[in-house]
Amino acid sequence: FGGDLTLIENAEEMNELSSYLVKQGFGAADWFWTSGNDLVENHKFSSVSNGMPLPYTSWSAGQPDLPGVEHCVHLWFMEGAFRMNNRACTEKAFYICQRHIP
């Protein structure tokens, strides 16, 4: 359908997405994959969608951690909002896609 895993580009998008997920009833038990990963180089996070460095990050405290083990970026509910965390890419989680409209 022409979509990609979401790429969060700024604080406004992060806050809107976090608020939306909370309003939909998602919380601490729910994780959501984004397009971020560091599969090319440890702790150099880029987007699987375009290969460019992530333009914005909102890591939860102490994250990212476990270089060489956790390579993919997901959102989880920490510190009162959804924040970014790195996780093993093989973990099960929901995903958030975005569609580019010309």
Per-residue pLDDT for 102 more than 90? no
Q: How many domains does the chain have?
A: 1
Per-residue pLDDT for 2 more than 90? no
Q: What is the mean pLDDT of the chain?
A: 95
Please, are residues 63 and 84 in contact by the beta-carbon 8 Å criterion? yes
Q: What percent of the chain has pLDDT over 90?
A: 90
3-state secondary structure of 33: strand
Selection from 89, 82, 91 nearest residue 23 by Cα: 82
| pLDDT tens per residue across span 32-82 | 999 999 999 999 999 999 999 999 999 999 999 998 999 999 999 998 999
Per-residue pLDDT for 97 more than 90? yes
For range 8-30, the mean pLDDT: 98
Range of the domain at 8: 3-99
Cα–Cα distance, 17 to 60 (Å, whole number): 15
3-state secondary structure 20-59: HHHHCCCCCCCCEEEEEECCCCCCCCEECCCCCECCCCCE
Q: Does 49 or 84 have the greater pLDDT score?
A: 84
Q: How is residue 74 written in tokens?
A: 């997901």
CATH of the domain at 90: 3.10.100.10
